Amino acid sequence: MEEIQNIDVTKNPEPEVIIESTKQKQSEEVEHHCDEQQKQSQEEEDELRKLLLSDIGELPLSPPSATQLNFVSYFITDFTKPGHDHYIYRHANGLCVIGLAPTHIAFKDQGGITNIDFNVGKSDRSVLKVSGKRKKNAMRSESNTALCKVSTANDSYIVRCCVKGSLLEVNERLIKQPQLLNSSADREGYIAIIMPRPADWTKNKESLITSEEYKDKKQDGLLEPCLL
């Protein structure tokens, strides 16, 4: 009987042994879990790095301009007359910025544009004062409504609205600094801001071309393709 009891005791490990074995197993599980977490964290970090740090070969030669980031560029060429090329930069809120495209005929005259006059048609566009959310006093314009007249040393050219809508403002700064039309026509040298109605814009858009289409059409005559 004593022999049987001794055998049973040897078959059952001591409590200390069981505890030690359990601790070791738990430690291994924790270590394995930590390794998995570290591996997952490293994979997430690598993925984030790929998103934030693009392949240098995929980066553009120069950063996009504010115009490229905030506006969609459209163009209309030979509007009413040959060489009368204009840009229409449309913001997400519907506002359209109107200006002279790089291939406008006025830029081909020696010395470029020397003067701008907003007193065309029956009113002076530069005295237009729009106020309030309803854009009180905004002038309703058709696409062929005259905006201003730009002059060079040899000739003068009428610039038109290009889109149907409400004329909200003209760039009065050009009156004293017409040279902005020559140096930065697509930025500080913009001519006017117009707000078309959604239905009018849909119709206007049919006569416009995209930036890529404009480049293809006017490639030989582009003055500064980088501005597009």
pLDDT of residue 226: 34
Report the distance separating Cα 141 and Cα 163, nearest Å.
8
Residue linked to tokens 């905030």 = 70
Q: How far is CA 59 from CA 41, 62, 63, 192, in A?
A: 27, 8, 9, 33
pLDDT tens string 193-228 = 999 999 999 999 999 999 999 999 877 555 443 344
What's the CATH number of domain 66-222, 2.40.50.100, 3.40.50.1980, 3.40.960.10, 3.40.47.10? 2.40.50.100
SS3 category, 44: helix
Measured at the CA of 106, the angle between CA 102 and CA 107, to 5 degrees, comes to 45
Q: What does DSSP say about strands 123-124 and 165-170: parallel, antiparallel, or unpaired?
A: unpaired
pLDDT in tens, the chain (228 residues): 444 455 454 555 566 666 666 667 677 776 776 777 777 778 777 776 666 655 555 555 655 566 667 889 999 999 999 999 999 999 999 999 999 999 999 999 999 999 999 999 788 888 877 666 666 677 899 999 999 999 999 999 999 999 999 999 999 999 999 999 999 999 999 999 999 999 999 999 999 999 999 999 877 555 443 344
Residue 107 CB contacts under 8 Å (≥ 6 apart), including other chains? 100, 113, 182, 223
Please name the amino acid found at residue 81.
K
Residue 193 CB contacts under 8 Å (≥ 6 apart), including other chains? 95, 96, 97, 98, 167, 168, 169
Q: What is the pTM of this model?
A: 0.67
- Kind and range of the H or E run holding 74: strand 71-76
Q: What does DSSP say about strands 156-160 and 146-152: parallel, antiparallel, or unpaired?
A: antiparallel
